[in-house]
Chain A
Amino acid sequence: MLVGHQPKEFLLAVEALTVSFDGFKAVNDLSFYVDENEIRVIIGPNGAGKTTVLDLICGKTKATSGSIQFRGKELTRMKENEIVKTGVGRKFQNPSIYDDLTVFENLEISYPRGRSVFGALTFTRDAAVRDRVHEVAEMIFLKDRLNMSADLLSHGQKQWLEIGMLLIQDPDLLMLDEPVAGMSVSERAKTAELLNRIIKNRSVLVIEHDMKFVEDIAHKVTVLHQGQILSEGTMEKVQNDPKVIEVYLGH
């Protein structure tokens, strides 16, 4: 499946990626490839480097060496906001929303228009923006909370809001860091439903610990351990891999 590494065929091609923090290699010579419309889940024990991989892709952390190609563009040399413009969206582990703004304003800021200083100054809240905000708000179950200050939302609702903020950007690659962590059972079910709806026509890279959830959504699973790939393949294959059972699934 990964024969003849030709990055152009993949949406995302990570090759020989290494990052070292004062000599500690959090990610070590990592290579993996994500196809168009693929849902890839990264699992692994704590400290395996999962979040660091997402940080590297979205530009939050600079790679020590290696390359990240997205649609043939090299991301390691780009700034965060430029990476966003090429179509990469990132959700953080803790809900990262603007508490002082309303749900509507949170979504509006994420609407991909008027991103320069003068664009933002002359931005008008026209029908296209309003319709899109309403559409997304309906998807993320927050339709009747648009005028509510975001800090009044529950933890789960904040997670949804951040997913909505990414959705409104319409990225080609969506990266989610533990989207159901800290959610109640019913919220979890709704989130799975939400994710299944929004992953159409885009690729998704998810970090998640909840194995039931992973089984529900993953096309392919990558298991990371100490900054390297321990195993990769379908959920079934990974679950039966003795190495994976030993370091991760066993306990």
Chain B
Amino acid sequence: MTDNRFFNRSELIGILVLAVFLVVVLPLTLDVFRLNLVAKYLTYAFVALGLVVCWGYGGILSLGQGVFFGLGGYCMAMFLKLEASSVENTKIQSTPGIPDFMDWNQITALPLFWKPFNSLTFTIAAIILVPGIFALIIGTAMFKRRVGGTYFAIITQAVAAILTILIVGQQGYTGGINGMTDLRTLKGWDIRPDHAKVVLYFFEVGCLFVCIMIAQFIRHSKLGRILVAMREKEDRVRFSGYSVANFKIFAFCIAAVFAAIGGAMFALNVGFMSPSFVGIVPSIEMVIYTAVGGRLSILGAVYGTLLVNFAKTSLSETFPELWLFGLGGLFIAVVLAFPNGLAGIWGDYVQPRIDRLISPRKPKPEGWTDSSVADGAPAE
């Protein structure tokens, strides 16, 4: 019996391989600049991970994950911005002690909703709760009324568009189109120098593995199997006595919270936050990372994100105009030819060969199947 509630043997190997890759191989082979680039890519891996739970398992396609990425990122950025806007740092402003963009927009006092962000504890709670509660509200409004599929995807796009417009329009409160820049210290600790970047990278990888473990736990719980069941036969699940809406809301909230953690990591690692990570285009890009990695594979999401972003960085440096077409073409190609992405290729072609090399015949434990969800296998 596989009674381990987090992973089976091949998943454990996959997680260890990823851990070695992220914790040992990359930091040893990359310079700080490149490592910080990886840190930036990995912030999207949180979003992709959430999409695996929500879209891959639950079948709920959200094209607005940028909303939650943004909410988490802005919560973190607000705290950092307040710390960077101390009275001595901002004494040249007409109102010292408030963020610079407020001063430029003739705001003379810190708005009420900014005040709690002086506290790091509140900020950390807000990073989880603000997107979580927002997802709960959207999810309840949609899923209780049985809005699903394409309609739900379109609504999430609309939410992404609305939030972007709101952020850009409310310049005095949000920093507008430029976002929140010039973030400096976290509780007095400078986040800009090289050694801080390295520390933040390892912190981020740690958080990523916590999220991976949560996703693994969900996948191996009965809830994970109900999500898969729901994706196929929603009515059957309903008539087995489950409230389908509640399970969808849960999956959507988990995806939102993961995305928000990613957003907060982005603000820390990259040092700014702007509406260009909230809107429709980044939201769709995040879905592409998941599709390329394999929407049923937890680890595939991480590899997919890294791969697409590496390609984006190197290709957009050489062919800046062609990149978007390349990305679109990639998405179409993956969906048509490899619906399970990199993880699917790995599971179909590479894994069987490795299995045959290691053990000629492996008995399957009872009640467990590979077909329930494609194996989260590493695919580099």
- Chain A residues in the interface with B (C-beta under 8 A): 58, 60, 79-81, 84-85, 89-90, 92, 96-102, 104-106, 108-110, 112, 114-117, 120-123, 125, 130, 146-147, 149, 165, 169
Known contacts A101-B229, A102-B372, A147-B367; A114/B222 CB under 8 A = yes
Enumerate chain A residues within 8 angstroms of B250, measured Cβ to Cβ.
Answer: 117
Whether B63 sits at the interface, judged by CB under 8 Å, is: no
Whether B7 sits at the interface, judged by CB under 8 Å, is: no
Complex interface: stretch among B31-39, B176-184, B241-249: B241-249
Taken residue by residue from 209 to 237, chain B's Cβ proximity to chain A (1 for < 8 Å, 0 otherwise) reads as 00000000110011101101101110111
26 A-B residue pairings within 8 Å (CB atoms): A60-B239, A80-B239, A81-B239, A81-B242, A81-B243, A84-B239, A89-B239, A90-B239, A92-B235, A96-B235, A98-B232, A98-B236, A100-B232, A104-B366, A108-B222, A108-B225, A109-B225, A109-B226, A110-B240, A114-B222, A115-B243, A116-B243, A120-B223, A147-B366, A149-B369, A149-B371
- Chain B residue at minimum C-beta to C-beta distance from A148: B369
> How far apart are the CA atoms of A108 and B366 in the complex, in Å?
13
> How far apart are the CA atoms of A99 and B221 in the complex, in Å?
18
Enumerate chain A residues within 8 angstroms of B217, measured Cβ to Cβ.
Answer: 121
**Are A98 and B233 touching (Cβ within 8 A)?**
yes
- Chain A residue at minimum C-beta to C-beta distance from B369: A102
**Are A100 and B372 touching (Cβ within 8 A)?**
yes
- Chain A residue at minimum C-beta to C-beta distance from B228: A100
- Chain A residue at minimum C-beta to C-beta distance from B3: A125
Enumerate chain B residues within 8 angstroms of A121, measured Cβ to Cβ.
Answer: 217-218, 221-223
Enumerate chain A residues within 8 angstroms of B356, measured Cβ to Cβ.
Answer: none
* Choice from A90, A105, A149 contacting B367 with Cβ under 8 Å: A105
**Are A101 and B242 touching (Cβ within 8 A)?**
no
- Chain B residue at minimum C-beta to C-beta distance from A123: B222
- Chain B residue at minimum C-beta to C-beta distance from A102: B369
Which one of A79, A100, A106, A114 has the greatest number of beta carbons of chain B within 10 Å?
A100
Enumerate chain A residues within 8 angstroms of B1, measured Cβ to Cβ.
Answer: 125
Known contacts A92-B236, A100-B228, A146-B366; A169/B223 CB under 8 A = no
- Chain B residue at minimum C-beta to C-beta distance from A58: B239
**Are B241 and A120 touching (Cβ within 8 A)?**
no
Enumerate chain B residues within 8 angstroms of A115, measured Cβ to Cβ.
Answer: 241-243
**Are A81 and B241 touching (Cβ within 8 A)?**
yes
* Choice from A101, A114, A123 contacting B372 with Cβ under 8 Å: A101
Which one of A84, A120, A125 has the greatest number of beta carbons of chain B within 10 Å?
A120
**Are A84 and B222 touching (Cβ within 8 A)?**
no
Enumerate chain B residues within 8 angstroms of A116, measured Cβ to Cβ.
Answer: 243, 246
Enumerate chain B residues within 8 angstroms of A112, measured Cβ to Cβ.
Answer: 241
**Are B240 and A169 touching (Cβ within 8 A)?**
yes
B53 nearest CB across to chain A (Å): 12
A118 nearest CB across to chain B (Å): 9
> How far apart are the CA atoms of A85 and B243 in the complex, in Å?
11
> How far apart are the CA atoms of A165 and B250 in the complex, in Å?
25
Closest CB pairs A-B (n = 5) = A84-B241, A123-B222, A120-B223, A104-B367, A98-B229
> How far apart are the CA atoms of A112 and B247 in the complex, in Å?
16
**Are A105 and B240 touching (Cβ within 8 A)?**
no
Residues of B13-44 at the interface with A, using a CB-CB cut-off of 8 Å, are: none
Known contacts A116-B246, A146-B367; A101/B240 CB under 8 A = no
A168 nearest CB across to chain B (Å): 9
**Are B235 and A117 touching (Cβ within 8 A)?**
no
Enumerate chain A residues within 8 angstroms of B368, measured Cβ to Cβ.
Answer: 102, 147
> How far apart are the CA atoms of A98 and B229 in the complex, in Å?
6
Enumerate chain A residues within 8 angstroms of B373, measured Cβ to Cβ.
Answer: 100
Which one of B221, B225, B247, B373 has the greatest number of beta carbons of chain A within 10 Å?
B225
Residues of B333-369 at the interface with A, using a CB-CB cut-off of 8 Å, are: 364, 366-369
**Are A165 and B240 touching (Cβ within 8 A)?**
yes
- Chain A residue at minimum C-beta to C-beta distance from B250: A117
Whether B238 sits at the interface, judged by CB under 8 Å, is: yes
* Choice from A90, A120, A147 contacting B369 with Cβ under 8 Å: A147
A205 nearest CB across to chain B (Å): 14
Enumerate chain B residues within 8 angstroms of A169, measured Cβ to Cβ.
Answer: 240-241
Enumerate chain B residues within 8 angstroms of A92, measured Cβ to Cβ.
Answer: 235-236
Enumerate chain A residues within 8 angstroms of B236, measured Cβ to Cβ.
Answer: 92, 96-98, 165
Taken residue by residue from 131 to 157, chain B's Cβ proximity to chain A (1 for < 8 Å, 0 otherwise) reads as 000000000000000000000000000
**Are A105 and B372 touching (Cβ within 8 A)?**
yes
- Chain A residue at minimum C-beta to C-beta distance from B217: A121
**Are B247 and A117 touching (Cβ within 8 A)?**
yes
- Chain B residue at minimum C-beta to C-beta distance from A89: B239
A96 nearest CB across to chain B (Å): 4
> How far apart are the CA atoms of A106 and B238 in the complex, in Å?
14
> How far apart are the CA atoms of A159 and B242 in the complex, in Å?
21
- Chain B residue at minimum C-beta to C-beta distance from A125: B367
* Choice from B231, B233, B246, B366 contacting A117 with Cβ under 8 Å: B246
> How far apart are the CA atoms of A250 and B232 in the complex, in Å?
40
A200 nearest CB across to chain B (Å): 22
Enumerate chain A residues within 8 angstroms of B372, measured Cβ to Cβ.
Answer: 100-102, 105, 149
Enumerate chain A residues within 8 angstroms of B225, measured Cβ to Cβ.
Answer: 101, 105, 108-109
> How far apart are the CA atoms of A117 and B246 in the complex, in Å?
7
Enumerate chain B residues within 8 angstroms of A106, measured Cβ to Cβ.
Answer: 229
Enumerate chain A residues within 8 angstroms of B221, measured Cβ to Cβ.
Answer: 120-123
**Are B369 and A85 touching (Cβ within 8 A)?**
no
> How far apart are the CA atoms of A97 and B371 in the complex, in Å?
15
Enumerate chain B residues within 8 angstroms of A58, measured Cβ to Cβ.
Answer: 239
Enumerate chain B residues within 8 angstroms of A100, measured Cβ to Cβ.
Answer: 228-229, 231-232, 371-373
Enumerate chain A residues within 8 angstroms of B218, measured Cβ to Cβ.
Answer: 121
